[in-house]
Amino acid sequence: MSEQLRLMHVHAHPDDESSKGAASTARYVAEGVDVLVVTCTGGERGSILNPKMDRPDVLANISEIRRQEMDAAREILGVRQEWLGFVDSGLPEGDPLPPLPEGCFGLMPVEKAAEPLVEIMRRFRPHVVTTYDENGGYPHPDHIMCHKITVAAFEAAADPTRYVGSGEPWQPLKLYYHHSFSRMRMQALHDAMEQRGLVSPYAEWLANWEVDPSWDDRVTTRVECAEYFPVRDRALLAHATQIDPDGSWFAVPLEVAQQAWPTEDYELVTSHVPTRTPEDDLFAGLR
């Protein structure tokens, strides 16, 4: 292709763009790809996961603080970013699970919630779109709804009979799902830590792994991006309410992670261009 390549990531909350696919994002930005992050909610109901930020002043201004964190992460990654403006659903806990709060993103009708994403898709005209799998990557209601509206918008954006008035039709050419937490990756990092005599943060996780083993077989595309792990880490740390610098996100030393698993991994779901898997590039078939 002669025109500039464009990549759209659709995420549920501010911080998801930094915890899923951020190093490959930084690589593509460095290569001149125009990258847009679409954030579905403001993360208003997210917990404060960094004990150092668990303060009354932060709790009272969590919406604004999370927007400021997103601004900082966006600058670090070198991407554009837009908000869809939906309200965070929170992560329901308990047995039985409580109902989701009225008016939240997780309760929106898919057809309605996809409309602003279709408008952005037609305006930005991405060649490649990424989001989460049908389980949301993990079963957060906002992640599952993010999956639903992204798939719906990907299918609808090129249809001139749908969402009339939301811009000129555009057909994105490839759709991917993130595979950030495969067992193969966790096992490789765990083994690398133990081989160096270090304490692995994944031992208990692996011992209690309940994900279908065929999950790893869904990965089609591994993007080499170890060089950009430091950029990913800086973007993560920008989300100070969500990321504890002394927590599990950074329990594996950078050099160990770069050597043990130097890629970020994706599943090619739909392609309107000829390509052959396995791939090493989200733009395979387009360059």
Binding residue per annotation — 239?
A: no
Confidence of residue 211 (pLDDT cuts 50, 70, 90): confident
Determine the Cα–Cα distance for residues 36 and 25; give it in Å rounded to an integer: 10
Q: At what angle do helices 141-156 and 115-124 cross, to 10 degrees?
A: 50
Question: Residue 157: inside a domain, yes or no?
Answer: yes
Question: Residue 249: inside a domain, yes or no?
Answer: yes
Binding residue per annotation — 179?
A: no
Question: Residue 199: inside a domain, yes or no?
Answer: no
Q: How far is CA 181 from the centre of its chain?
A: 12
Question: Residue 90: inside a domain, yes or no?
Answer: yes
Question: Residue 138: inside a domain, yes or no?
Answer: yes
Q: pTM of the full predicted structure?
A: 0.96
Question: Residue 285: inside a domain, yes or no?
Answer: no
Laid out side by side, the sheet with 34-41 consists of 80-86, 34-41, 6-11, 128-131, 174-178, 263-271, 221-224
Burial group, residue 139, by CB count within 10 angstroms (0-12, 13-18, 19+): exposed
List for the chain the helix, strand, coil content (%; round to 5). Answer: 40, 15, 45
Question: Residue 206: inside a domain, yes or no?
Answer: no
Instruction: Return mean pLDDT, the chain.
Output: 95
For the CA atoms of 146, 147, 149, 151, the dihedral, rounded to the nearest 10 degrees, stands at 150
Number of domains in the chain: 1
Q: How far is CA 73 from the centre of its chain?
A: 13
pLDDT at 212 over 80: no
Range of 259's domain? 6-181+216-271
Q: What is the mean pLDDT of residues 211-218?
A: 81
Task: CATH number of the domain at 223, please.
Answer: 3.40.50.10320
Question: Residue 226: inside a domain, yes or no?
Answer: yes
The pLDDT assigned to 282 comes to 98
57-76 residue pLDDT tens: 998 899 999 999 999 999 99
Whether 55 contacts 63, CB under 8 Å: no
Binding residue per annotation — 143?
A: yes
